[in-house]
Amino acid sequence: MTRKIIIGVMGPGDSATEIDIKNAYELGKLIAQQDWILLTGGRNVGVMDAANKGAKEAGGLTIGILPSNHTKNVSDAVDIAILTDLGNARNNINVLSSDIIVACGIGLGTVSEIALALKNRKPVILLSESPESQQLFKSFAPNLTFIAVDIQQTMKQIKEILEIVN
Amino acid sequence: MTRKIIIGVMGPGDSATEIDIKNAYELGKLIAQQDWILLTGGRNVGVMDAANKGAKEAGGLTIGILPSNHTKNVSDAVDIAILTDLGNARNNINVLSSDIIVACGIGLGTVSEIALALKNRKPVILLSESPESQQLFKSFAPNLTFIAVDIQQTMKQIKEILEIVN
Amino acid sequence: MTRKIIIGVMGPGDSATEIDIKNAYELGKLIAQQDWILLTGGRNVGVMDAANKGAKEAGGLTIGILPSNHTKNVSDAVDIAILTDLGNARNNINVLSSDIIVACGIGLGTVSEIALALKNRKPVILLSESPESQQLFKSFAPNLTFIAVDIQQTMKQIKEILEIVN
Amino acid sequence: MTRKIIIGVMGPGDSATEIDIKNAYELGKLIAQQDWILLTGGRNVGVMDAANKGAKEAGGLTIGILPSNHTKNVSDAVDIAILTDLGNARNNINVLSSDIIVACGIGLGTVSEIALALKNRKPVILLSESPESQQLFKSFAPNLTFIAVDIQQTMKQIKEILEIVN
């Protein structure tokens, strides 16, 4: 069995904040340093782009699950572009294919991904989410929803979850 | 142009409350009485099943967008079963194909549908949702998120939105 | 149980021949006269458009499974537009949702639909297909592949298959 | 730009012949030796499984695009499992995500993949296909359909196509 551990980093595209971008970049780097594969929505904006750039900086392997049928908007830091042509329906693939999902910032697409992840019984770490969304998701899946205050705690939680799962 | 108005009623399956079921049934009936088409996730449980039954009671036409590739779990009150075999990725089709979405109760699938609807710029009426989810979705799309306290207000809002859209 | 019989008519869009268009129109009419629902790919070109127009001429109900997330290219004769935003992946939904598929002319999209239909154990009637495609599909699924020389034979075959299935 | 070249190897699962399996294994090996990434349907049967095993034998990287939402039937030789939960609709992702597709043997799923690939203007190499399918696909897309008699010719054609494309 050669299957590799995949960490999905989800978050806003155009509406990402500076903090989201910074977190995503650092997270990508730390994920790559653990030899885990980074999976994102693959586009060349926001959290996706920053996480991929961080991972490549550290020599990691990056997968992008694109909504389109072409490579025009793919992040330059994506190694493997999966072209789904599914629009937002590809969000379900993002979460199914990840062992753990980190929500790094929040947008409507991210909300759909967190909900789909929890519905599929995947652990989700909420990094710098709003109190409303923390409460909402905790109420649905208390054992699968983790709250992290910074990337150090996020990495600690990923390791703990992987130990339980594997 | 013969295209018909489609109202999507979304909500929990197995975890639907008694109030959700009652609301969904009444809503289905009122939608059918307006000669609008009812669209749901199509399964034979919860909000989907109740809404379809209400619509058929009033002689309406019902469409179910199923996650499966077979008809084993289709509500008996679905006229037209669209078999997607997409699992939860079919949630995006539910909202894209509806002119207006009513969230009747809440579950993780419903959360994903509301988020995907708003991302696609579709109006969503939240009927008996939790304060957290109301606040969360209002914060993302204040002009597309409507709060209803009962089915009468829901019907009134649908009519007002249709007038603006058409 | 109120579920209705759905006949899927598939065939080329822009590259449809005059005969394909004529056949599709007549087929749509005859399907509607039997009170069956017509399902197509829903766009305003070729076999899809013609079949829908025929069905509406006879007062039938028409469903279009669109590849897009908008209604710009929907045939005017489609009553119910299902917006999938799946591109060509929607072809699998076309065939899964139909009780019987009629291939009316041939194109690459049609080839994919015939193959997916047979893989899903759905009966397919090949109307005016090329000898190569007839031979190819017969070799994979002899009991599910029917060859028709004209629309009268097509209708006769649909009735015979429905009797066996139901 | 770090994006890697992806070669898709498609072919029958349970109905693969001994020759298909042998070809797929050798092809997987040769693809890995060129440092290209192998993409398949990912299951633990037939052409998919054999191609992945060949690629791993040569130390390559392998991606599997699974129809399911779980990893029960994933080939042991798949490094990165993309869980789509799309059933056969995932066939469109297989071909969109590959730079070149090799059809190694034939089945109904493979027919759908060749058709979808050509519709998306992707080059397809037919290795040991039947004369009917060769003729059929050549007639639709003469410039994108390549016929190979063995894996050596297949590899030569892949290199020639990549030179033109890049």
Interchain proximity C118–D108, CB inside 8 Å: yes
DSSP tag of D101: E
- Determine the distance from the C-alpha atom of residue B4 to the mean position of all C-alpha atoms in its chain, rounded to a whole number: 16
Task: Answer yes or no: is pLDDT of A2 > 80.
Answer: no
Task: Answer yes or no: is pLDDT of B1 > 70.
Answer: no
pLDDT per residue as tens digits for the range D87-127:
999 999 999 999 999 999 999 999 999 999 999 999 999 99
Task: Answer yes or no: is pLDDT of D79 > 70.
Answer: yes
Interchain proximity C89–D93, CB inside 8 Å: yes
In a domain, D12, yes or no: yes
Interchain proximity C69–A85, CB inside 8 Å: no
pLDDT of residue C131: 87
Contacts of D24 (CB under 8 A, 6+ apart): D9, D11, D16, D46, D47, D48, D50, D51, D54, D104, D105
B130 to chain A: which residues are within 8 Å by CB?
136, 139
Task: Answer yes or no: is pLDDT of A49 > 90.
Answer: yes
Please check whether residues B77 and B154 belong to one and the same domain: no
pLDDT of residue A132: 85
pLDDT of residue A1: 64
Contacts of B70 (CB under 8 A, 6+ apart): B83
Task: Answer yes or no: is pLDDT of C38 > 70.
Answer: yes
Phi, psi dihedral angles at A104 (to 5 degrees): -110, 90
With a pLDDT cut of 70, the percent of chain C lying above it is 98
pLDDT of residue C45: 98
What subunits touch chain C, counting only 3 or more CB pairs under 8 A? A, B, D
Task: Answer yes or no: is pLDDT of B166 > 70.
Answer: no
Domain hosting B138: range is 124-166
In a domain, B148, yes or no: yes
In a domain, A110, yes or no: no
Query: Please, what is the average pLDDT of chain A?
Result: 96
What is the average per-residue pLDDT within B68-84?
Answer: 97
**Residue whose C-alpha is closest to residue A94's, from A105, A106, A104, A82:** A82
pLDDT per residue as tens digits for the range D51-71:
999 999 999 999 999 999 999
- Residue B157 amino acid letter: Q
Domain count, chain C: 1
> Looking at residue A49, which CATH number applies to its domain?
3.40.50.450
Contacts of B150 (CB under 8 A, 6+ apart): B23, B127
Distance from CA of C140 to the nearest CA of D (A): 7
B89 to chain D: which residues are within 8 Å by CB?
85-86
Sign of CA dihedral C21, C24, C30, C33: negative
In a domain, A10, yes or no: yes
In a domain, C131, yes or no: yes
pLDDT of residue C2: 75
In this structure, the number of other CB atoms found within 10 A of the CB of residue A146 comes to 20
pLDDT of residue A158: 98
ipTM over 0.85: yes
pLDDT of residue D132: 85
A3 to chain D: which residues are within 8 Å by CB?
71, 74, 78-81
Strand partners, C66: C83
pLDDT of residue A9: 98
B interface with D, Cβ–Cβ below 8 Å: 69, 85-89
In a domain, B141, yes or no: yes
pLDDT of residue D116: 98
In a domain, C101, yes or no: no
Interchain proximity C86–A88, CB inside 8 Å: no
Contact, A134 vs A147, CB < 8 A? yes
Task: Answer yes or no: is pLDDT of C130 > 90.
Answer: no
Helix A108-119 vs helix A131-140: crossing angle, to nearest 10: 20
pLDDT per residue as tens digits for the range A118-128:
999 999 999 97
Confidence of residue B85 (pLDDT cuts 50, 70, 90): very high
pLDDT of residue B132: 85
pLDDT of residue D130: 83
In a domain, C80, yes or no: yes
User: CA angle, B54 as apex, C95 and C81 as ends, to 5°?
Assistant: 35
Contact, B91 vs B3, CB < 8 A? no
**Residue whose C-alpha is closest to residue A86's, from D112, C89, C74:** C89
D interface with B, Cβ–Cβ below 8 Å: 69, 85-89
What subunits touch chain A, counting only 3 or more CB pairs under 8 A? B, C, D
C115 to chain D: which residues are within 8 Å by CB?
108-109, 111-112, 115
Task: Answer yes or no: is pLDDT of A106 > 90.
Answer: yes
pLDDT of residue C166: 64
In this structure, the number of other CB atoms found within 10 A of the CB of residue C126 comes to 23
Task: Answer yes or no: is pLDDT of B128 > 90.
Answer: no
Phi, psi dihedral angles at B8 (to 5 degrees): -90, 125
List b or e across D129-145, with b for residues whose CB sees 16 or more CB atoms inside 10 angstroms: beebbbbbbbebbeebb
Please check whether residues B8 and B68 belong to one and the same domain: yes
Distance from CA of D75 to the nearest CA of B (A): 22
Which residue do the tokens 């030899």 mark?
Answer: A35
**Residue whose C-alpha is closest to residue B157's, from B129, B131, B123:** B123
**Rounded to an integer, what distance in angstroms lies between the CA atom of residue D127 and that of residue D134?**
10
pLDDT per residue as tens digits for the range B5-32:
999 999 999 999 999 999 999 999 999 9
pLDDT of residue A166: 64
With a pLDDT cut of 90, the percent of chain D lying above it is 92
Query: Please, what is the average pLDDT of chain C?
Result: 96
